[in-house]
Amino acid sequence: MCFSATASFSAGIILTVISIVSIKKVQHPSQTMFAMIPLIFAIQQFAEGFLWLSIPDAKWSYLQTDITYFYLIIAQILWPVWVPLSILMLEKEQTRKQIQKILVGIGVLVSVYLSYCLFNFNIRSEIDCYHIAYIQTYPETFRILGGFLYIVATILPPFFSHIRRMWWLGVLVLISYVVTTIFYESYMVSVWCFFASVISLSVYLIMSEIRISHREDIYAQRALEQH
**pLDDT tens digit string along 174-190?**
887 787 776 666 556 66
What does the pLDDT average to over 10-30? 89
| Cα–Cα–Cα angle for 58, 63, 64, rounded to 5 degrees | 80
pLDDT attached to residue 1: 47
Say how far apart CA 186 and CA 101 lie, in whole Å: 32
**Could you tell me the pLDDT band of residue 60, with boundaries at 50, 70 and 90?**
confident
Task: Give pTM, 2 decimals.
Answer: 0.84
Neighbour tally for 93: CB within 10 Å: 12
Query: Which candidate, 12, 11, 9, 37, places its Cα nearest to that of 23?
Result: 37
pLDDT above 50: residue 206: yes
153 to 38, 76, 156, 188: CA distances (angstroms): 18, 11, 6, 17
Say how far apart CA 217 and CA 195 lie, in whole Å: 34
Neighbour tally for 17: CB within 10 Å: 12
- Percent of the chain topping pLDDT 70: 84
pLDDT attached to residue 181: 72
Cβ proximity of 109 and 149 under 8 Å: yes
How many domains would you assign to the chain? 1
Which tops the pLDDT comparison, 60 or 115?
Answer: 115
Say how far apart CA 2 and CA 74 lie, in whole Å: 18
Region of 128 please: left (phi>0), alpha (psi -120 to 50) or beta: beta
Task: Provide the domain limits for residue 149.
Answer: 5-226
